[in-house]
A and B are shown apart, each in its own frame.
Chain A
């Protein structure tokens, strides 16, 4: 009997079925997910910029309060990077400066207080 059985002559079907409109619905869900993820990534980038700004303000305050006596009065980003070891490129500096302007003093200090220092060194 085994010899007479030919799998190749079987109808090549599975018992699997699908919900109605599955493919169109799935394509829509994926498009929505991709857009949501893209939006979340943009928000995270902005948050990182804001956190960097917060750290910068905290460093300015700290240096101004307890920094060495020979710190220059007109503190620049270059001085700040030398003091803190941060590696911010020009675009990041610009973003940080812009973000700083959007945050209140309370928001900045609260973010600094609640964040780990190392987080800012991205």
Chain B
């Protein structure tokens, strides 16, 4: 796997080739991060496209203040949050109502796996900040420092949010 600096150098030398390599390197974690946030595959695909178009536009402005991974996660997080806000406002629903509806109506979901469906519903029921930190910590295994660089929240706030998120999910799974 290429280092951040190698990827940046490649983008500077040949933008299209560098971008293609950058995308191949990060496309899967970025897609899954978006998918966990917006739930439906078709919405995730739309957001995924917007994210990479923005990355292509702004890759020249990447200054290396953070890692490429956290920079990409930040763009993806902002784009997914903007999408959810807009969709929820358009349908006059809370984010949880919107995402629950998306889950139930979605293609490309394994509805036979009841345990995973229950877990997913519990995650969707979390307040947005807790949902975000839970997904990044539990599934992406990002450190609190990385999540802090992505969200702009303090490490202590993130730890508290993650703790409460886990408690609520436990409660939801055990008590329905």
Contact A14 B36, CB 8 Å, known A5-B170, A26-B49, A33-B49: yes
Interface flags for B35-61 (1: CB within 8 Å of A; 0: not) read 110010100010011001100100000
* B160 vs chain A, min Cβ distance (A): 16
A12 touches B36 (CB 8 A): no
Chain B interface bracket (under 10, 10 to 19, 20 to 34, 35 or more) = 35 or more
Contact A15 B120, CB 8 Å, known A30-B49, A33-B53: yes
Residues of A close to B138: CB separation below 8 A: 7, 12
Interface flags for A16-57 (1: CB within 8 Å of B; 0: not) read 111100110011011101100100000000000000000000
Of the stretches B67-75, B89-97, B105-113, B149-157, the one at the interface is B105-113
Beyond A16-B108, A26-B45, A34-B56, 11 additional contacts (C-beta under 8 Å) are: A2-B174, A7-B166, A10-B119, A15-B117, A17-B109, A19-B41, A22-B31, A27-B20, A27-B23, A29-B49, A37-B53
A contact residues vs B (CB 8 Å cutoff):
1-2, 5, 7, 10, 12-19, 22-23, 26-27, 29-31, 33-34, 37
